[in-house]
Amino acid sequence: MKYLIIFLLALPSILVAQNATPCESEKAHQFDFWMGEWNLTWKDQAGKTLKGKNTITKKLGSCVLEESFTDPNSSFDGMSISVYSPLLDKWQQTWVDNQGAYLDFVGEFADGKMILSRNFKNKAGKIIHQRMIWYNISKESFDWNWENSSDQGATWNLAWQIHYERAKP
């Protein structure tokens, strides 16, 4: 009888633990600022302002963020899948596009910025570091940088900067 009482008292905790998912943790919501429909602006190499669209939705029980990016100026389209990994205690993202790219990133949210990065070896055999930074984050807008480094991250070169504005219904 004593063990039955202990089991019954512990049962609510056991059920909550079994129903809790890593997708419900505080860290799993760090990318929620990115959710929604976005109007994008950036400058091309000639300084002309270009516009695009980005839609970010939650999938698979709200565990996965799916990005759908469209640049009508160049017919460049891409998508990413992002997920918080409790095992790594990091975010992971995979990007693919209509130019055959496949990129994989890992990172975290710290000091008001989401930073995801990756390393790869170029055709010459040199290690290149790349990173994406989401910053100046507010409910209605934020900025995003694509940067690269060929000196192990000692210096970073801005390759692409996009300003996000939440699309109005």
Question: Does residue 88 register a pLDDT over 60?
Answer: yes
Question: Does residue 10 register a pLDDT over 90?
Answer: no
Q: What is the pLDDT of residues 17-28, one digit of tens each?
A: 445 677 999 999
Residue ranges of domains in the chain, CATH in brackets: 31-166 (2.40.128.20)
Rounded to 5°, angle at Cα 126 from 123 and 130: 95
C-alpha 85/C-alpha 65 separation (Å) is 13
Task: Give the pLDDT confidence score for residue 169 in this predicted structure.
Answer: 83
Long-range (24+ apart) CB contacts under 8 A made by 16-25 are 21/61, 21/63, 22/63, 22/84, 22/86, 23/61, 23/62, 23/63, 23/84, 25/84, 25/86
- Please give the helix or strand (H or E) that residue 154 lies within, else none: none
DSSP state letters, 36-67: EEEEEEEE-TTS-EEEEEEEEEEETTTTEEEE
Task: Give the pLDDT confidence score for residue 12 in this predicted structure.
Answer: 44
In this prediction the pTM is 0.85
63-84 mean pLDDT: 95
Confidence of residue 2 (pLDDT cuts 50, 70, 90): low
